Amino acid sequence: MINVGIIGFGKMGQIRANAIEDSELGKINLIYDVSPIQNTNFTVASSPDEIINNKNIDAIFVCTPNYLNQSLTIQSLETGKHVFCEKPPAFNEKEVLEVIKAEKASGKKLMYGFNHRHHESIKMIKVLVENETYGKILWMRGRYGKSVDKKFYTNWRANSEKAGGGILLDQGIHMLDLFTFLGGEFDEVKAMISNLYWKSDIEDNAFAILRNNQTGTVASLHSTMTQWRHLFSLEVFLEHGYFVLNGLKTSSGTYGEEILTIAKNRAEAPRATWKDEEKHTFSINESWKSEIDHFLTAITENKPIQIGNSDDARIIMRTIDKIYKDGKKND
């Protein structure tokens, strides 16, 4: 049984706590949040340091605003704790490299909350891509949007110093991670970022075209806060068919049904027929438990983190650095 401390007990901290209890691999010893915590059965610490320096705690979950992720992760690793940290891992690749240095020195496990990799629909796509039944990936298109109102701009996510960025770091990072998970790292990036509507110091739209020069795969990303609805759509087109995932089972329940469509390509007219499509609906979201099981099992069995490790984080942040650099140049 892994003794766990959770720093940050807002929405994500509570989701992680529930998943830890469901896994039966971990026990929550201490929790902390900057806001008073009420109606809890867990012991509440007086500060993050009380958790980080507690010799009885084996692993720490960092579920804090973005600007604290890197520093708390490094502190926790340096005191000999395994760490699970929410995304983004840091504000840029350079900061992730500093974390990796601490990780290597500690010899402890480090995992990041790239949760979407753990959805059953994504796992199915990954298997199909790897067995090449449908051939190699030609291109991918991802759209990830949500509706926000003025209230959004009263919390830390709308403060660039605390959030590090806007919709790209908030949601776009998940889609970029899926692109990388399925198609490898992207070398070339062309991007535009904009803030035509909310006019704050964070972007409300990010557009990017990416290319993996080794495979030739191209991916298109649009992450937005001016769509006026929540939407998730991932399309993967291959040599011999396609996978289209619309909707995503989330804790908010606002992205609709998670439906994966699979079909072979159509070589004979009429090509635009849908009767031969195969549809899979995923009604239960087991992604939170899958993540926790992966992390805690890696600790108990001394296995490497395969999904959401620090190298994954480094690659994603390097891509995000490129998008911000090119996007702001074209702003």
Its domain, for residue 82, covers: 2-108
State how far the alpha carbon of 265 is from the alpha carbons of 217, 232, 271, 326, in Å: 18, 23, 8, 35
pLDDT at 268: 67
Residue 182 lies in a domain: yes
Domain end (from 57, 85, 108): 108
Contact 249, 282 (CB under 8 A): yes
Same structural domain, 135 and 174: yes
Same domain, 193 and 255: yes
- Tokens representing residue 79 in the block: 């005191």
Residues 183 and 243 in one domain: yes
Q: Please check whether residues 133 and 273 belong to one and the same domain.
A: yes
Stretch 128-132: mean pLDDT: 96
Of the residues 76, 108, 140, the one at which a domain ends: 108
Of 318, 314, 96, 308, the residue nearest 188 (C-alpha):
318
Cα–Cα distance between 199 and 202 in angstroms, integer?
A: 8
In-domain check, residue 6: yes
Q: Can you give the pTM of this predicted structure?
A: 0.95
Q: What is the dihedral of CA 46, 6, 250, 176, to 10 degrees?
A: 110
Segment 12-31, tens digit of pLDDT: 999 999 999 999 899 999 99
134 shares a domain with 243: yes
Domain count, the chain: 2
Domain containing residue 242: CATH number? 3.30.360.10
Q: Are residues 54 and 133 in the same domain?
A: no
**42 in the same domain as 24:** yes
pLDDT at 37 over 90: yes
Across the range 162-175, mean pLDDT stands at 96
- Provide the 10 A C-beta neighbour count for residue 191: 23
Q: Tokens 């087109």 identify what position?
A: 237
Q: Among the three residues 84, 108, 132, which one is the final residue of a domain in this structure?
A: 108
Residues above pLDDT 70, as percent of the chain = 97
Let me know if residue 256 belongs to a domain.
yes
Q: Which residues contact 162 (CB under 8 A, 6 or more apart)?
A: 65, 66, 67, 156
- Name the nearest CA neighbour of 165 among 312, 329, 325: 325
**Mean pLDDT across the stretch 167-183?**
97
Read off the pLDDT band of 7 (50, 70, 90).
very high
Same domain, 273 and 194: yes
SS3 303: coil
Q: Is residue 306 a part of any domain in this protein?
A: no
| CA-based R_g, the chain, Å | 20
Domain CATH number, residue 21: 3.40.50.720
Q: pLDDT tens across 285-304, in order?
A: 999 999 999 999 999 999 99
